[in-house]
A = this chain, B = another copy of it.
Amino acid sequence: MNATSLLVDAADVRSIVERIGRDALMDSLIARLTEAIVRYDPTVAQVPPRRGLHYRTPEWGLLEWMPAHFGSEGTMVKLVGYHPTNPERRGLPTVISTISLFDASSGHLIGLLDGTFITALRTGAASAVASRVLAEPGSRTLGVIGCGAQSVTQVHGLSRLFPFDRIIAYDIRDDVARTFRERIGFLDVRVERVRRESLMELLAESDILCTCTSAAPGEGPVFPDFANKPHLHVNAVGSDFHGKFEVPVALLRRSLVCPDFTEQATDEGECQQLQPGEIGPDLRTLVQHADEYASARSTPTVFDSTGWALEDHVAARLMFDYAREVGAGRHVAIECLPPDAKDPYSLLRAHEVVTAAAARTAGPPL
């Protein structure tokens, strides 16, 4: 058995995105995610809610793990750090992540990938999948509240499915709102920036609204209730922590609220604000029975996106498959698999060197 792992590093991700193209990448991910949700079988799959260590020494930080098992399709763990002082103190992103893919039969690590880019990508794709079921197909105006990293892939994912001719953007930080137009320049859609005093205009004119702020726990909602278009669809993306939410409860209550993953959304999402009876179908139910929910397109709807490990698994698998297709990544023999399984020190035997060296330089087949 070739027991190497394919290491897909940052430069590999870059070369995959370049070779495949970001539109084709997003389209493939939306298609694969839809298929994976249609196929999702809760009698086989296991996706526990995200858990983490939250610490205050050496400073405030959070390390979370998102494990998931999908039967013969594999097992995955995403590890995610959330360290809000990174940008200012270290020139690093707030969220840094890696993903380990395992062969579910043996527990062998088949791939190790960056999870930071994948997280942004899959969050955009998830909103696209939910919006295809819930939003008015002819939606032309997209409102964006919070113009950080997640907003870029939100707008990208949605623009693959909807004929937007106008994006109205707001961010609490003026400089972030200002650079947004440039960051989504590749989409060739008219972008209007509004200030706090014109926020109601953004809200009133949106067919689809994305909220992807980093409002702190206890600060939400990030906008007041308002007279929404009858078919307004909201992708609420920013909630991912206890006490953190973005959408006014009155709007939630008159909308069909669909969480990505109910158990997690009631802990960390907009669903924290609702009673169990006020929560609609989850993303799986929605996609598996899309026809039944088509009528919801003409009524207010909310996709409560907290981040479902299925999305990470599908996105990581896609990058992994592309890496093999374009010859990106390196095979590394990281696990010590000694020649005598009953003797840890047998790794010292000479022929082990040969095996490890051979594995290290082995070709594509895994």
Contact = CB atoms under 8 A, between A and B. Distances in A.
Contacts of A347: 10, 13-14, 17, 117
A3 B30 CA distance: 31
Interface of A is mostly: mixed
A341 interface: yes
A185 to B, nearest CB: 10
A87 B337 CA distance: 11
Contacts of A55: 44, 46, 69, 71, 75, 104
Contact of A58 (B72, B87, B90, B115): B72
B46 A9 contact: no
Contact of A63 (B67, B94, B98, B346): B67
Q: For the complex of A and B, list the 10 residue pairs with the smallest distance between their C-beta atoms, beginning with the closest.
A: A81-B107, A120-B344, A11-B356, A117-B336, A57-B71, A58-B72, A114-B336, A93-B341, A183-B343, A10-B336
A335 B11 contact: no
A147 to B, nearest CB: 7
Given A55-B46, A57-B44, A343-B152, A14 B81 contact: no
Contacts of A80: 107
A252 B333 CA distance: 42
Interface string A1-29: 10100011111011001100010000000
Nearest to A334: B9
A149 B117 contact: no
A83 to B, nearest CB: 5
Contact of A344 (B61, B94, B149, B356): B149
Contacts of A220: none
Nearest to A120: B344
A108 B79 CA distance: 11
Contacts of A107: 61-63, 80-83, 86, 96
B337 A96 contact: yes
Contact of A336 (B13, B90, B179): B13
A47 to B, nearest CB: 9
A188 interface: no
A98 B100 contact: yes
A336 B97 CA distance: 9
Contact of A334 (B3, B10, B121): B10
A195 B22 CA distance: 65
Interface in A111-155: 112-117, 120-121, 147-149, 152-153
A148 B115 CA distance: 37
Interface centre among A72, A83, A92, A333 (most CB of B within 10 A): A92
A348 B10 contact: no
Given A108-B81, A332-B9, A152 B63 contact: no
Given A92-B1, A100-B79, A336-B117, A61 B105 contact: yes
A276 interface: no
A347 B342 CA distance: 45
Interface in A157-194: 176, 179, 183, 186
A347 B183 CA distance: 12
Given A334-B114, A335-B98, A65 B77 contact: yes
Given A10-B337, A59-B105, A108-B96, A22 B176 contact: no
